[in-house]
Amino acid sequence: MAQRQSPTVKRRRLALTLRQLRGRAGLSASDAARRVDHDSSWLSRIENAEVRPHPNDVRALLDLYGVTGEQAEAVIAVARQAKQRGWWQRYGDAVPDWFASYVGMESEASVIRSYQCQMVPGLLQTEDYARAAFQGAPVPMRDEEVERQVSLRLDRQAILTSDVPPMLRMVVDEAAVRRLVGGAEVIRGQIAHLLDMSRRSNVQIQLLPYSAGVGYDGSFVILDFPALPAPYPDATDDSMVYVDTLTGALYMDHDREVTAYRAAHEQLQAQALGAVATREALRKIAEELAM
């Protein structure tokens, strides 16, 4: 399956690039905006990825920053891509704005690191498990809404079979695979799926056993995005931390925030079982459920 392109990631990369280029040019946001006949709030919204600028406005900013030739054309190409529709938009209001940003970024992430303390990660869920999870969610859903959410979740998993799949680094708490979401049969099927997925070269699953102690009281995801190739002027990798909440989500991309969550994930990996021991533990849990 071909790699899905994400206008969300393009808009985010464009925002970071324009902010960086303005800084290199030694211009304040208000000065730069004024010199291209806009106000500072307009440029602030662009640099915070809140709006998608017209390619002509991007060209004017690049001229102001002294970026020309192939580099300028590469940035303008990204600006055009940022205005395209995302594949997830066909799901309509099943994807609220706060989650659409995550789906868009997940679609083009190069590395996805996750810790899940209560549920199996969405990218690794079976259809039966996903359906049971939505049916049992604390916010009730109509049957047709449940089915749309299940379809979206399964559609997101297509990145795992894309031409360039992301690297998954998943730490899953033992509670997540012992919780009887949908009943014992559904969990046995889910564990079998985890065992199958763990054999993929781009998927690493580690079980954090009860014996490890407290662990961490909160799930999170760290997304890493690949740098765009030359002649694009910004060769800097960037990352985002995503934390789900009942009514929305938190997105964190400041260096200190990403560093803190990276350190937490590394610590959880160190406490978790290795790949072989994880598979053995999962098989044992499945056998217990069959009794």
Q: Quick: pLDDT tens for 69-111.
A: 999 999 999 999 988 889 998 998 888 888 999 999 999 999 9
What is the dihedral angle through the alpha carbons of 211, 213, 217, 219, rounded to the nearest 10 degrees?
-40
Q: Is 208:174 a contact under the CB 8 Å cutoff?
A: yes
Q: Which fold has domain 87-290?
A: Endonuclease; Chain A (3.30.870)
Contact 120, 190 (CB under 8 A): yes
Helix ranges restricted to H, the chain:
7-24, 29-35, 40-47, 55-65, 69-81, 97-108, 127-135, 143-156, 174-178, 184-197, 255-271, 275-290
Please tell me the predicted confidence (pLDDT) of residue 216.
84
Q: How far is CA 289 from CA 121, 183, 188, in A?
A: 20, 10, 7
Domain residue ranges of the chain, discontinuous segments joined by +: 7-81, 87-290
Beta bridge partners of 241: 222, 252
- Give the orientation angle of helix 7-24 with respect to helix 97-108, to 10 degrees: 80
Contact, 130 vs 74, CB < 8 A? no
- What mean pLDDT do residues 267-272 have? 96
Q: Which fold has domain 7-81?
A: 434 Repressor (Amino-terminal Domain) (1.10.260)
Mean pLDDT on 37-53: 92
In this prediction, residue 1 carries a pLDDT of 56
pLDDT at position 215 is 77
Please state the pTM of the whole predicted model: 0.89
Angle between helices 69-81 and 7-24 (to 10 degrees): 140
Residue 230 has pLDDT above 70, yes or no: yes
Predicted local confidence at residue 213, as pLDDT? 87
Q: Which residue has the higher pLDDT, 21 or 213?
A: 21
Q: How far apart are the C-alpha atoms of 181 and 159, rounded to whole Å?
A: 25
Residues 87 and 4: beta-carbon distance below 8 Å: yes
Do 2 and 107 contact (CB within 8 A), yes or no? Answer: no
Instruction: Specify the pLDDT at position 227.
Output: 83
Mean pLDDT of all residues in 163-175: 96
Q: What is the pLDDT of residue 228?
A: 83
Domains 7-81 and 87-290 share a fold: no
Smallest Cα–Cα separation from 9: which of 98, 81, 97? 81
Query: Residue 131: what pLDDT?
Result: 98
* pLDDT of 201: 95
| Residue 11 structure tokens | 């808009």
Question: Can you give the pLDDT at residue 235?
Answer: 55
Q: What is the three-class DSSP state of 254?
A: coil
What is the C-alpha separation between 204 and 168, in angstroms, rounded?
6
pLDDT above 80: residue 267: yes
What's the mean pLDDT when you consider all of the chain? 93
- Cβ burial 220-246 (10 Å sphere, 16+ → b, else e): bbbbbbeebeeebbbeeebbbbbebee
The pLDDT of residue 85 is 87
